[in-house]
Structure 1
Protein backbone atom coordinates (compact mmCIF):
# COMPACT_ATOMS: atom_id res chain seq x y z
CA UNK A 1 0.00 0.00 0.00
CA UNK A 2 1.45 3.37 -1.01
CA UNK A 3 2.22 6.08 1.54
CA UNK A 4 -0.26 8.42 -0.16
CA UNK A 5 -3.05 5.86 0.15
CA UNK A 6 -2.21 5.07 3.77
CA UNK A 7 -2.28 8.79 4.58
CA UNK A 8 -5.62 9.17 2.78
CA UNK A 9 -7.07 6.25 4.77
CA UNK A 10 -5.76 7.63 8.08
CA UNK A 11 -7.16 11.12 7.42
CA UNK A 12 -10.44 9.52 6.38
CA UNK A 13 -10.58 7.59 9.65
CA UNK A 14 -10.07 10.72 11.76
CA UNK A 15 -12.56 12.86 9.81
CA UNK A 16 -15.27 10.22 9.55
CA UNK A 17 -14.98 9.16 13.22
CA UNK A 18 -15.20 12.77 14.43
CA UNK A 19 -18.00 13.78 12.09
CA UNK A 20 -19.83 10.44 12.11
CA UNK A 21 -19.61 10.10 15.88
CA UNK A 22 -20.90 13.63 16.39
CA UNK A 23 -23.79 13.15 13.98
CA UNK A 24 -24.65 9.78 15.51
CA UNK A 25 -24.48 10.87 19.17
CA UNK A 26 -25.60 14.52 19.00
CA UNK A 27 -27.49 15.04 15.71
CA UNK A 28 -29.59 18.06 16.58
CA UNK A 29 -27.07 19.81 18.79
CA UNK A 30 -24.18 19.67 16.33
CA UNK A 31 -26.06 20.83 13.26
CA UNK A 32 -28.12 23.45 15.10
CA UNK A 33 -24.88 24.89 16.52
CA UNK A 34 -23.67 25.63 13.00
CA UNK A 35 -27.04 26.96 11.85
CA UNK A 36 -28.05 23.93 9.83
CA UNK A 37 -31.68 23.49 10.81
CA UNK A 38 -34.24 22.02 10.78
CA UNK A 39 -32.56 18.71 11.43
CA UNK A 40 -34.12 15.27 11.16
CA UNK A 41 -32.39 13.39 14.00
CA UNK A 42 -33.21 9.95 12.58
CA UNK A 43 -31.63 10.55 9.17
CA UNK A 44 -28.75 12.43 10.76
CA UNK A 45 -28.01 9.42 12.98
CA UNK A 46 -28.18 7.13 9.94
CA UNK A 47 -25.62 9.33 8.16
CA UNK A 48 -23.46 9.29 11.29
CA UNK A 49 -23.66 5.49 11.40
CA UNK A 50 -22.72 5.25 7.70
CA UNK A 51 -19.68 7.46 8.27
CA UNK A 52 -18.59 5.36 11.25
CA UNK A 53 -18.88 2.19 9.15
CA UNK A 54 -16.79 3.84 6.42
CA UNK A 55 -14.14 4.63 9.05
CA UNK A 56 -14.19 0.99 10.16
CA UNK A 57 -13.64 -0.09 6.54
CA UNK A 58 -10.57 2.15 6.36
CA UNK A 59 -9.26 0.71 9.64
CA UNK A 60 -9.70 -2.82 8.33
CA UNK A 61 -8.02 -1.90 5.06
CA UNK A 62 -4.92 -0.66 6.89
CA UNK A 63 -4.97 -3.51 9.41
CA UNK A 64 -5.26 -6.35 6.90
CA UNK A 65 -3.22 -4.67 4.14
CA UNK A 66 -5.46 -6.52 1.68
CA UNK A 67 -5.25 -5.19 -1.87
CA UNK A 68 -8.76 -6.46 -2.66
CA UNK A 69 -10.36 -4.92 0.44
CA UNK A 70 -8.53 -1.64 -0.08
CA UNK A 71 -9.77 -1.51 -3.67
CA UNK A 72 -13.36 -1.92 -2.53
CA UNK A 73 -12.94 0.72 0.20
CA UNK A 74 -11.48 3.18 -2.32
CA UNK A 75 -14.41 2.64 -4.70
CA UNK A 76 -16.97 3.07 -1.90
CA UNK A 77 -15.31 6.27 -0.67
CA UNK A 78 -15.02 7.72 -4.19
CA UNK A 79 -18.66 6.97 -4.97
CA UNK A 80 -19.94 8.25 -1.61
CA UNK A 81 -18.14 11.58 -1.78
CA UNK A 82 -18.95 12.08 -5.47
CA UNK A 83 -22.66 11.37 -5.03
CA UNK A 84 -22.81 13.50 -1.87
CA UNK A 85 -21.18 16.42 -3.73
CA UNK A 86 -23.60 16.06 -6.64
CA UNK A 87 -26.57 15.97 -4.25
CA UNK A 88 -25.46 19.10 -2.42
CA UNK A 89 -24.62 20.90 -5.67
CA UNK A 90 -28.16 20.31 -6.88
CA UNK A 91 -29.50 22.04 -3.77
CA UNK A 92 -26.97 24.87 -3.98
CA UNK A 93 -28.05 25.66 -7.52
CA UNK A 94 -31.74 25.86 -6.55
CA UNK A 95 -31.80 27.51 -3.12
CA UNK A 96 -29.52 30.09 -1.50
CA UNK A 97 -27.53 28.50 1.34
CA UNK A 98 -25.05 29.98 3.82
CA UNK A 99 -21.31 29.88 3.16
CA UNK A 100 -20.90 26.85 5.42
CA UNK A 101 -22.84 24.66 2.98
CA UNK A 102 -20.56 25.81 0.15
CA UNK A 103 -17.59 24.82 2.34
CA UNK A 104 -19.12 21.38 2.92
CA UNK A 105 -19.57 21.07 -0.85
CA UNK A 106 -15.92 22.07 -1.44
CA UNK A 107 -14.78 19.50 1.15
CA UNK A 108 -16.84 16.77 -0.53
CA UNK A 109 -15.40 17.65 -3.95
CA UNK A 110 -11.84 17.59 -2.55
CA UNK A 111 -12.45 14.17 -0.96
CA UNK A 112 -14.03 12.91 -4.16
CA UNK A 113 -11.03 14.00 -6.23
CA UNK A 114 -8.63 12.44 -3.71
CA UNK A 115 -10.40 9.09 -3.67
CA UNK A 116 -10.80 9.02 -7.45
CA UNK A 117 -7.05 9.69 -7.76
CA UNK A 118 -6.40 6.74 -5.43
CA UNK A 119 -8.81 4.59 -7.45
CA UNK A 120 -6.88 5.16 -10.68
CA UNK A 121 -3.43 4.94 -9.07
Structure 2
Protein backbone atom coordinates (compact mmCIF):
# COMPACT_ATOMS: atom_id res chain seq x y z
CA UNK A 1 0.00 0.00 0.00
CA UNK A 2 2.88 2.39 0.74
CA UNK A 3 4.21 2.02 -2.78
CA UNK A 4 0.82 2.72 -4.33
CA UNK A 5 0.25 5.83 -2.21
CA UNK A 6 3.77 7.07 -2.97
CA UNK A 7 3.15 6.71 -6.69
CA UNK A 8 -0.21 8.48 -6.37
CA UNK A 9 1.46 11.36 -4.51
CA UNK A 10 4.15 11.65 -7.21
CA UNK A 11 1.52 11.56 -9.96
CA UNK A 12 -0.48 14.24 -8.13
CA UNK A 13 2.68 16.35 -8.00
CA UNK A 14 3.11 15.97 -11.75
CA UNK A 15 -0.58 16.79 -12.26
CA UNK A 16 -0.38 19.93 -10.10
CA UNK A 17 2.73 20.96 -12.00
CA UNK A 18 1.14 20.42 -15.40
CA UNK A 19 -1.45 23.10 -14.57
CA UNK A 20 1.29 25.65 -13.97
CA UNK A 21 3.37 24.41 -16.89
CA UNK A 22 0.68 24.11 -19.56
CA UNK A 23 -2.00 26.50 -18.28
CA UNK A 24 -0.19 29.32 -16.49
CA UNK A 25 -3.02 31.82 -17.02
CA UNK A 26 -5.50 29.41 -15.41
CA UNK A 27 -3.07 28.85 -12.55
CA UNK A 28 -2.57 32.58 -12.06
CA UNK A 29 -6.34 32.96 -11.72
CA UNK A 30 -6.69 30.00 -9.36
CA UNK A 31 -4.02 31.50 -7.12
CA UNK A 32 -5.47 35.03 -7.31
CA UNK A 33 -2.36 36.29 -9.14
CA UNK A 34 -2.03 38.38 -12.26
CA UNK A 35 0.56 39.56 -14.73
CA UNK A 36 1.63 43.20 -14.74
CA UNK A 37 3.56 45.05 -17.45
CA UNK A 38 5.15 41.88 -18.82
CA UNK A 39 4.53 38.19 -19.14
CA UNK A 40 7.14 37.37 -16.49
CA UNK A 41 4.33 36.08 -14.26
CA UNK A 42 3.52 33.44 -16.88
CA UNK A 43 7.19 32.51 -17.02
CA UNK A 44 7.27 32.16 -13.23
CA UNK A 45 4.18 29.95 -13.27
CA UNK A 46 5.70 27.66 -15.90
CA UNK A 47 8.98 27.49 -13.95
CA UNK A 48 8.23 27.42 -10.22
CA UNK A 49 4.65 26.14 -10.15
CA UNK A 50 4.92 24.05 -13.31
CA UNK A 51 8.22 22.63 -14.44
CA UNK A 52 9.66 22.35 -10.94
CA UNK A 53 6.79 20.12 -9.79
CA UNK A 54 6.62 18.10 -13.02
CA UNK A 55 10.34 17.31 -13.02
CA UNK A 56 10.39 16.58 -9.28
CA UNK A 57 7.48 14.15 -9.59
CA UNK A 58 9.05 12.44 -12.60
CA UNK A 59 12.43 12.19 -10.83
CA UNK A 60 10.85 10.65 -7.74
CA UNK A 61 9.07 8.05 -9.88
CA UNK A 62 12.28 7.34 -11.79
CA UNK A 63 14.38 7.00 -8.62
CA UNK A 64 11.66 4.93 -6.92
CA UNK A 65 13.51 5.15 -3.63
CA UNK A 66 12.01 5.76 -0.18
CA UNK A 67 14.39 8.68 0.43
CA UNK A 68 13.28 10.32 -2.81
CA UNK A 69 9.65 10.05 -1.70
CA UNK A 70 10.59 11.40 1.75
CA UNK A 71 12.32 14.37 0.11
CA UNK A 72 9.20 15.04 -1.93
CA UNK A 73 7.47 15.18 1.44
CA UNK A 74 10.00 17.76 2.60
CA UNK A 75 9.17 19.85 -0.47
CA UNK A 76 5.49 19.71 0.45
CA UNK A 77 6.32 20.52 4.08
CA UNK A 78 8.06 23.68 2.90
CA UNK A 79 5.05 24.62 0.81
CA UNK A 80 2.68 23.98 3.72
CA UNK A 81 4.87 26.00 6.09
CA UNK A 82 4.90 28.93 3.69
CA UNK A 83 1.16 28.66 3.21
CA UNK A 84 0.38 28.64 6.94
CA UNK A 85 2.80 31.49 7.68
CA UNK A 86 1.00 33.41 4.95
CA UNK A 87 -2.36 32.75 6.63
CA UNK A 88 -0.94 34.26 9.81
CA UNK A 89 0.88 37.22 8.24
CA UNK A 90 -0.86 38.02 4.94
CA UNK A 91 -4.56 37.32 5.51
CA UNK A 92 -5.18 35.48 2.19
CA UNK A 93 -8.63 34.00 1.47
CA UNK A 94 -8.77 31.56 4.38
CA UNK A 95 -10.70 28.70 2.77
CA UNK A 96 -8.51 28.65 -0.33
CA UNK A 97 -5.24 28.97 1.59
CA UNK A 98 -6.29 26.37 4.19
CA UNK A 99 -7.40 23.95 1.46
CA UNK A 100 -4.13 24.22 -0.46
CA UNK A 101 -2.13 24.15 2.78
CA UNK A 102 -4.07 21.14 4.03
CA UNK A 103 -3.37 19.19 0.86
CA UNK A 104 0.32 20.09 1.10
CA UNK A 105 0.44 19.14 4.79
CA UNK A 106 -1.24 15.76 4.24
CA UNK A 107 1.15 14.95 1.38
CA UNK A 108 4.12 16.08 3.48
CA UNK A 109 3.14 13.99 6.48
CA UNK A 110 2.41 10.89 4.42
CA UNK A 111 5.54 11.05 2.30
CA UNK A 112 7.88 11.75 5.21
CA UNK A 113 6.38 9.43 7.83
CA UNK A 114 5.75 6.52 5.46
CA UNK A 115 9.19 6.63 3.87
CA UNK A 116 11.81 7.97 6.28
CA UNK A 117 12.21 4.67 8.16
CA UNK A 118 12.19 2.69 4.93
CA UNK A 119 15.07 4.82 3.63
CA UNK A 120 17.42 3.99 6.50
TM-score of the superposition, structure 1-length normalised?
0.78
Q: 1:35 to 1:72 in 2, by over 3 A?
A: closer
Matches for 1:1-121 after TM superposition, within 5 Å? 3-4=1-2, 6-32=3-29, 34=30, 36-38=32-34, 40-47=41-48, 48-62=50-64, 70-98=65-93, 99-118=95-114, 119-121=116-118
Instruction: Output the CA distance in 2 between the equivalents of 1:58 and 1:27.
Output: 23
Asked whether the 8 Å contact 2:60–2:72 carries over to 1, the reply is: no
Instruction: Output the CA distance in 2 between the equivalents of 1:30 and 1:91.
Output: 19
Asked whether the 8 Å contact 2:77–2:108 carries over to 1, the reply is: yes
Asked whether the 8 Å contact 1:78–1:112 carries over to 2, the reply is: yes
Once the two structures are superposed, residues 79-98 of structure 1 have per-residue CA deviations (whole angstroms, 9 ceiling, x without a partner) of 10111111111111012222
Q: How many residue pairs align between the two structures? A: 110
Once the two structures are superposed, residues 71-112 of structure 1 have per-residue CA deviations (whole angstroms, 9 ceiling, x without a partner) of 331232121011111111111101222211110001111011
- Once the two structures are TM-superposed, the CA of residue 20 in structure 1 deviates from its matched residue by 0.6
TM-score of the superposition, structure 2-length normalised?
0.79
Asked whether the 8 Å contact 1:12–1:58 carries over to 2, the reply is: no
- Once the two structures are TM-superposed, the CA of residue 35 in structure 1 deviates from its matched residue by 5.5
Give the CA RMSD over aligned residues: 1.8
Once the two structures are superposed, residues 29-76 of structure 1 have per-residue CA deviations (whole angstroms, 9 ceiling, x without a partner) of 2331x36223622221112111111221232134xxxxxxx1331232
